[in-house]
Amino acid sequence: MTEARYVTEDGNPDPGWYFCMKHNTVEHGDICRAADRLGPYPDEATASRALEIARERTEAADKADREWEEG
């Protein structure tokens, strides 16, 4: 499982959970630069599945494209 990194700042609204592709870690809040992150996700467990979720969404979009092209 990936290691989680946390932001421990103020009590503003939850900053969300992200998956950092550079470090292969789950992060809570803005730790790494946006270009390296996927998210936000509602919780740590979902963020840890970010690559799997992205793959599933890409496969679904590819399928929809094929179906559209076929008429």
Entry pTM:
0.74
Q: What is the pLDDT of residue 51?
A: 97
d(CA 43, CA 26): 10
Q: What is the pLDDT of residue 64?
A: 95
Q: What is the pLDDT of residue 12?
A: 65
**Number of domains, the chain:** 1
Q: Which residues of the chain have pLDDT under 70?
A: 1-12
Question: Which structural domain, as residue segments, surrounds residue 30?
Answer: 4-70
Q: Are 3 and 20 in contact (CB under 8 A)?
A: no
How many degrees, rounded to 5, is the angle at CA 62 between CA 17 and CA 16?
A: 5
Q: What is the pLDDT of residue 23?
A: 96
Q: What is the pLDDT of residue 13?
A: 74
Q: What is the pLDDT of residue 61?
A: 97
